[in-house]
């Protein structure tokens, strides 16, 4: 233990805390006792100034802002702080439509300052580590924040570096991704420039946020090629690490009709492992029906990549994580399994729902209610049913609106005569283009809880 501690403190100047903690953990040692010194580059922190708030929320994304707003809607006097280093809050569900030439990217970004609800303290810093037994968080730079109740929602990490060569070529050589704000417009540019050739759309292993987004990008591109007459000169291939087109079978027939109409080749069990941008070659690890793996190189003219997605490093190595690195919460109450004054929601939670903003919209009121119940300010226990939604943009003007709860149980928001989610629908497109953005900015982020009132468990 002593040697590992000395090694950890010596490495603190050159390696990140998660790297050090992960290596020590692998060797069987817990660096919990020296986390603050590691963050402080190996030195004992002298300045032990602490700030304290009744409720602290990590992350001012979809889940964090919605939770703060839902809390304030119930009790405007609450002492809440949001910790987030970002200057900008993004409406990520809009990026598919940016990549499809429908939205202007700027409409999906608001300043964080304008997004954080009035009355909430904003601590503009990144959380580096947890000390749950002391109800404390350590920020980068070693400041300490104490809490009575903690909400953890820093989203997930897009692991671009897991694919060899990708970072060097992203945004160049025909390689793009709607998963980045600054690259979604590049997708649309590439689509319009491509008159013939080979377009590959990739999907990594689950879990990822918005599991439908990899194919949404593909359908909107194919639709544009159909409109401008290029489709017959472009070979489209969907290379997915998974074994099915979509996780909930009821939506697959409608999607397959589009796959056939656009002439898309489906290649399952194909995981992107390397990209040679200048050479325009993508390499996949392909698992055959017999389980045998081989590397296959595919030339491309356009490559739309969705990267593998993992829990953020500081979460993965923390005492809050499960074996896979996600925050370990009860899937109904969203309360941490070991620390009753900690909650998690959004992409970082280990709940088996579809990681979507739609899920966060339903989760935030549940966390708000349960947290206030724990403070003696509300009655009963609210339950999250696993709702998530994925509007699959199959063509410009039509959407297959997947809505489901835990276990892939269909959970349509509208009666079937009005909107059948398993069929392509113009109304669903209208919802995505016109209704959902204001529902997000003016409803969900303002604590209005439209279509999201929490259900209480039977007492």
Ligand X SMILES: Cc1cc2nc3c(=O)[nH]c(=O)nc-3n(C[C@H](O)[C@H](O)[C@H](O)COP(=O)(O)OP(=O)(O)OC[C@H]3O[C@@H](n4cnc5c(N)ncnc54)[C@H](O)[C@@H]3O)c2cc1C
Catalytic residues: 210, 390
Of 94, 93, 125, 88, whose CA–CA distance to 107 is shortest?
Answer: 94
Question: Based on CB atoms, which residue is closest to ligand X, 66 or 230?
Answer: 66
Q: 280's torsion region: left (phi>0), alpha (psi -120 to 50) or beta?
A: left
Residue pair 320/152 in contact (Cβ under 8 Å)? The answer is: yes
Please tell me whether residue 64 binds ligand X under the rule CB under 6 A: yes
Cα–Cα distance between 358 and 435 in angstroms, integer?
13
Q: Least distance to ligand X from the beta carbon of 127, Å?
A: 4
Give Cα separations from 333 to 135, 251, 297, 339 (angstroms): 20, 28, 46, 13
Residue 58 makes contact with ligand X by CB under 6 A: yes
Q: Which window, 58-66, 284-292, 399-407, 445-453, contacts ligand X (CB under 6 A)?
A: 58-66
Specify the residue, 59 or 424, whose C-beta has the smaller distance to ligand X: 59
- Determine if 335 is a binding residue for ligand X (CB under 6 A): no
Nearer to ligand X, 283 or 308 (CB): 308
Nearest to 207 by CA among 366, 318, 319, 349: 349
State yes or no: residue 95 binds ligand X (CB under 6 A). Answer: yes
- Could you say whether residue 321 binds ligand X (CB under 6 A)? no
- Assess contact for 301 and 194: CB atoms under 8 A: yes
d(CA 288, CA 285) in angstroms, rounded, equals 10
Q: How far apart are CA 398 and CA 329, in angstroms?
A: 36
CB of 279 to ligand X, least distance (A): 27
- Report how far residue 150's alpha carbon sits from residue 152's, in angstroms, rounded to the nearest whole number: 6
* Residues in binding contact with ligand X, number by CB under 6 A: 37
- What residues contact 7, with CB distance under 8 A and at least 6 apart? none
**Which of 31, 40, 59, 174 touches ligand X (CB under 6 A)?**
59
Degrees to nearest 5, angle at CA 448 with 446 and 449: 120
Q: 96 or 381: whose CB is closer to ligand X?
A: 96
Q: Site residues for ligand X, window 200-229 (CB under 6 A)?
A: 209-210, 213
Interface with ligand X by CB under 6 A: which range of 2-10, 52-60, 296-304, 318-326?
Answer: 52-60
Which listed range, 162-170, 241-249, 345-353, 413-421, lies at the site for ligand X (CB under 6 A)? Answer: 345-353
| Secondary structure (3-state) at 150 | strand
CB of 191 or CB of 230, closer to ligand X: 191
List 109's β-bridge partners, or say none: 90
DSSP output for 336-353: BSS-TTEEE-GGGB--SS
Q: Name the one range near ligand X by CB under 6 A: 38-46, 194-202, 234-242, 355-363.
A: 355-363
Binding of ligand X by 347 (CB under 6 A): yes
Q: How far is the CB of 340 from ligand X (least distance, A)?
A: 21
Binding residue for ligand X, selected from 101, 165, 346, 447, defined by CB under 6 A: 346
Footprint of ligand X on 245-274 (CB under 6 A): none
Q: How far apart are CA 364 and CA 184, in angstroms?
A: 28
CB 145 within 8 A of CB 52: yes
Among 105, 136, 153, 452, binds ligand X (CB under 6 A): 153
Q: How far apart are CA 299 and CA 74, in angstroms?
A: 56
Residue 403 makes contact with ligand X by CB under 6 A: no
Asked if 309 is part of the footprint of ligand X (rule: CB under 6 A), the reply reads no
Q: Using the rule CB under 6 A, which residue among 234, 360, 368, 419 binds ligand X?
A: 360
- Site mask for ligand X (CB under 6 A), range 98-137, x = bound: ----------------------------xx----------
Q: Is 389 in the site for ligand X (CB under 6 A)?
A: yes
Identify which of 33, 270, 35 has the alpha carbon closest to the alpha carbon of residue 140.
35
Interface with ligand X (CB under 6 A), residue from 8, 35, 81, 83: 83
Residues that bind ligand X (CB under 6 A): 58-64, 83-86, 92-93, 95-96, 126-127, 153-155, 178-179, 209-210, 213, 312, 314, 346-348, 355-358, 360, 389, 391
């Amino acid at each position: 233990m002593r040697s590992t501690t000395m090694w950890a403190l010596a490495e603190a100047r050159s390696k990140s805390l998660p790297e050090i903690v992960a290596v020590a953990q692998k060797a069987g040692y817990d660096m919990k006792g020296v986390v603050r010194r590691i963050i402080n580059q190996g030195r004992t922190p002298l300045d032990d100034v602490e700030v304290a708030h009744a409720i602290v929320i990590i992350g001012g994304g979809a889940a964090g802002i919605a939770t703060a707003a839902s809390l304030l809607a119930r009790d405007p006097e609450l002492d809440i702080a949001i910790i987030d280093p970002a200057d900008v809050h993004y409406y990520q569900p809009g990026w598919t439509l940016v990549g499809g030439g429908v939205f202007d990217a700027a409409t999906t970004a608001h300043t964080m300052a304008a997004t954080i609800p009035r009355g909430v303290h904003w601590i503009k810093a990144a959380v580096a580590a947890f000390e749950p037994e002391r109800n404390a968080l350590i920020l980068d730079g070693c400041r300490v924040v104490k809490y009575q109740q903690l909400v953890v929602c820093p989203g997930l990490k897009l692991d671009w570096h897991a694919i060899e060569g990708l970072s060097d070529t992203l945004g160049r050589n025909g390689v793009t991704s709607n998963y980045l704000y600054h690259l979604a417009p590049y997708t649309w540019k590439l689509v319009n420039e491509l008159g013939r050739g080979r377009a590959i759309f990739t999907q990594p292993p689950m879990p990822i946020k918005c599991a439908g987004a990899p194919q949404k990008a593909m359908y909107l591109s194919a639709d544009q090629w159909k409109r401008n007459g290029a489709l017959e000169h472009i070979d489209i291939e969907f290379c997915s690490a998974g074994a099915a087109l979509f996780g909930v079978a009821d939506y697959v027939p409608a999607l397959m009709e589009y796959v056939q109409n656009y002439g898309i080749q489906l290649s399952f069990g194909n995981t992107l492992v390397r990209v040679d941008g200048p050479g325009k070659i993508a390499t996949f690890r392909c698992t055959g029906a017999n389980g045998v793996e081989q590397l296959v190189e595919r030339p491309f003219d356009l490559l739309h990549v969705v990267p593998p997605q993992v829990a953020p490093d500081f979460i993965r190595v923390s005492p809050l994580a499960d074996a896979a690195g996600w925050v370990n919460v009860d899937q109904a109450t969203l309360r941490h399994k070991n620390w009753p004054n900690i909650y998690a929601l959004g992409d970082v939670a280990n709940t088996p729902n579809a990681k979507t903003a739609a899920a966060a919209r339903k989760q935030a009121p549940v966390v708000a209610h349960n947290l206030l119940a724990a403070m003696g300010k509300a009655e009963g226990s609210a339950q999250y049913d696993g709702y998530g939604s994925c509007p699959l943009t199959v063509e410009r003007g039509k959407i297959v609106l997947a809505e489901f709860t835990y276990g892939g149980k269909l959970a349509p928001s509208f009666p079937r005569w009005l909107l059948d989610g398993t069929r392509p629908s113009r109304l669903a497109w209208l919802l995505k283009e016109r209704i959902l953005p204001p529902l997000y900015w003016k409803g969900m982020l303002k604590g209005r809880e439209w279509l999201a009132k929490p259900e209480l468990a039977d007492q």
